[in-house]
Amino acid sequence: MSDLSIVLKSLLSRRISSSITVLSVALAVALLLVLLSLRNAAAGSLLRGSGNAHLLLSADATPLTAVLNGLYFAGAPPRALTLAKVEELRSQAPGEWWLAIQQGDSYRGFPTLAAEPAILERFQPVPGESWTVRDGRGFKRAEQGKPFEAVLGDAAARATGAKLGDRIALTHGSGSSREGAGHVHEEYAFEVVGILAPTSTAFDRIILVDLEASWILHAHDRREAAGELAPKDEHAHEDGDHAHDDEHAHDDHSHDHDHDHAHDHDHDHAHAPLTTAADLTDDDRLVTGLLLRLPTRPGADAPAMLPQVHDLFRRDTSITVAQPAQEVRRLVSIAGNVEGVFLAMSAAVLVSSAIAIMLALYDGMAARRRQIAILRVLGFSGARIAGMVITESALIGAIGSLVGVAIGVGGMVLGAEYLRTRVGLVIDASLDARATIVVAGAAVALAALAGVLPAAAAYRTAVWRSLRPLG
């Protein structure tokens, strides 16, 4: 019988205590792995998804809030800028490009980003990496008489099941995971014309639509609330009379005519352009953010004039000015300080698990002295028996590490899903390979170290005393 088989039989003979000890190691390992992997993945994803705009101007309360809302879609900005204010800001500084954006609608819980079609050409969700339309094409400006167009991010398309050619109706507000939680803009359907390739950023969750189309949706709500639009039944009656006169040229199939008329009217009314761009007022033309990229030298990303332009806009107390990359780095730094406390607590749990292994093995030595003495009589040296005890301890750590890695994988999937749905942060759900090796190795080493004291007790076991007749 080999030493390893003896160790395994020893573990199996104490199934309950061994399982509890293994579970404590597994939980400590899993906790450490999830924290380390989430920290690295979240920090990398945040920095990766800050975009290539140098400044974000908005009416949010703080620069960090502006970045989280405007570029990571943590929530809809509560205040907006007027078009007049946007034009005023644009006139104050030269820019390589300016992009006005508006947020506030959603589709099945996924945020809508209304912008000019040029956003697909100018803005880069990952600095240095342009958008890639995986299927279809980019959206076009809203035109009267034509369906509004939408382009979906990869995650939004997969989760909603939307395909090219589908018609979708946006929900006013952030919505929820199911359609119909808020007011749905049923009067205007958007045709899905494109699906973007994944970027591993929060932009994978968005629905891109034209800025003017978004204005029209909210202008329609305003006009409807103000009573400027005729009730739906009046529209139906007027359209029906006209269609009825046209159809009377046919003498036959009068019953079928009535049925077809009702069906055609309902279909036409659902897509009738009750409000157009001509109905927009200055109060309708609102934006929640203004992205600015300043001119840069070839091969450089940081413009020399950034500090001056940033200081210029900061003097305007009616707006908030944010440098996306700088705010994200600040957030990562703040989060890192908090995570340090949790990592220290997790390490303490791992050390406690090692102490539990030591106590379990040491307490078991009293019951196993006779077994050890028999092994000594059979020719096992004290050093060999001590090595078997340390091997048993290390084996508990190794099994606990394997179970902990499995639990950690599940924890990462849950954590990534939580960040995606609650924060809008898309991260890699896999465990960090380097962290996995370090933590698992540390767990096994601590477990082996915990077996030294029990091994010393086994080494000092007196054969003659342990083999005395019982009773």
pLDDT at 55 over 90: yes
Q: Are strands 105-107 and 167-168 parallel, antiparallel or unpaired?
A: unpaired
226-280 pLDDT, tens per residue? Answer: 888 765 544 444 444 444 444 444 444 444 444 444 444 344 444 445 788 889 9
pLDDT bucket at 468, cuts 50 / 70 / 90: low
So what's the pLDDT on residue 182? 65
Strand intervals (E) in 219-319: 286-287, 289-293
Domain boundaries defined on the chain: 3-47+334-466, 51-232+268-328, 233-267
Highest mean pLDDT among 165-174, 309-318, 414-423: 309-318
The 3-class secondary structure across 148-168, one letter per residue, is: EEEEECHHHHHHHCCCCCCEE
Q: Measured between alpha carbons, how far is 136 from 311 in angstroms, rounded to an integer?
A: 42
Tokens of 326: 């700088």
More confident residue, 359 or 254: 359
Q: Measured between alpha carbons, how far is 413 from 434 in angstroms, rounded to an integer?
A: 18
- CA angle (148, 150, 153) in 5-degree steps: 175
CA 120, 126, 130, 131: dihedral to nearest 10 degrees? -50
So what's the pLDDT on residue 356? 80
So what's the pLDDT on residue 326? 92
- The per-type count for the chain, helices as H runs and strands as E runs, is 16, 14
Q: Under a CB-based contact definition with an 8 Å cutoff, are residues 45 and 126 in contact?
A: no
- Looking at residues 208-231, what average pLDDT do you find? 88
Q: Under a CB-based contact definition with an 8 Å cutoff, are residues 32 and 439 in contact?
A: yes
φ, ψ of residue 304 to 5 degrees: the values are -65, -25
pLDDT at 354 over 50: yes
Q: Under a CB-based contact definition with an 8 Å cutoff, are residues 394 and 43 in contact?
A: no
Q: Tell which residue, 44, 37, 47, has the closest CA to residue 343.
A: 37
- Looking at residues 113-131, what average pLDDT do you find? 94
- Looking at residues 183-209, what average pLDDT do you find? 91
The number of CA neighbours under 13 Å toward the Cβ of 336 is: 10
pLDDT bucket at 334, cuts 50 / 70 / 90: confident
**Given the structure tokens 């960040």, which residue do they identify?**
419
Highest mean pLDDT among 198-202, 205-209, 228-232, 363-367: 205-209
Cα dihedral across residues 134, 140, 142, 145: positive or negative = negative
Q: Measured between alpha carbons, how far is 160 from 168 in angstroms, rounded to an integer?
A: 10
More confident residue, 101 or 391: 101
Q: Tell which residue, 210, 125, 112, 201, has the closest CA to residue 152.
A: 112
For the chain, what is the mean pLDDT?
Answer: 81
pLDDT at 87 over 50: yes
Helix, strand, or coil (residue 190): strand
H helix or E strand, kind and range, residue 86: helix 83-90
Of 119-123, 235-239, 305-309, 422-426, the one with minimum mean pLDDT is: 235-239
So what's the pLDDT on residue 138? 96
So what's the pLDDT on residue 91? 93
Q: Tell which residue, 356, 407, 393, 410, has the closest CA to residue 24.
A: 356
More confident residue, 58 or 354: 58
CB count within 10 Å of CB 186 equals 11
Of 10-19, 83-92, 203-212, the one with minimum mean pLDDT is: 10-19
The radius of gyration computed from the CA coordinates of the chain, to the nearest angstrom, equals 33
**Given the structure tokens 């159809």, which residue do they identify?**
247
So what's the pLDDT on residue 41? 75
**Given the structure tokens 């359609």, which residue do they identify?**
179
User: pLDDT exceeding 70 applies to what percent of the chain?
Assistant: 78
So what's the pLDDT on residue 347? 81
Q: What is the DSSP letter of 126?
A: B
- CA angle (388, 392, 397) in 5-degree steps: 145
So what's the pLDDT on residue 193? 97
82 strand-pairing partners: 286
Q: Under a CB-based contact definition with an 8 Å cutoff, are residues 407 and 26 in contact?
A: yes
Cα dihedral across residues 52, 58, 64, 67: positive or negative = negative
Q: Measured between alpha carbons, how far is 156 from 120 in angstroms, rounded to an integer?
A: 17
So what's the pLDDT on residue 51? 92
CB count within 10 Å of CB 132 equals 11
Q: Are strands 190-196 and 167-168 parallel, antiparallel or unpaired?
A: antiparallel
Length of the chain: 471
- Looking at residues 399-422, what average pLDDT do you find? 86
204 strand-pairing partners: none
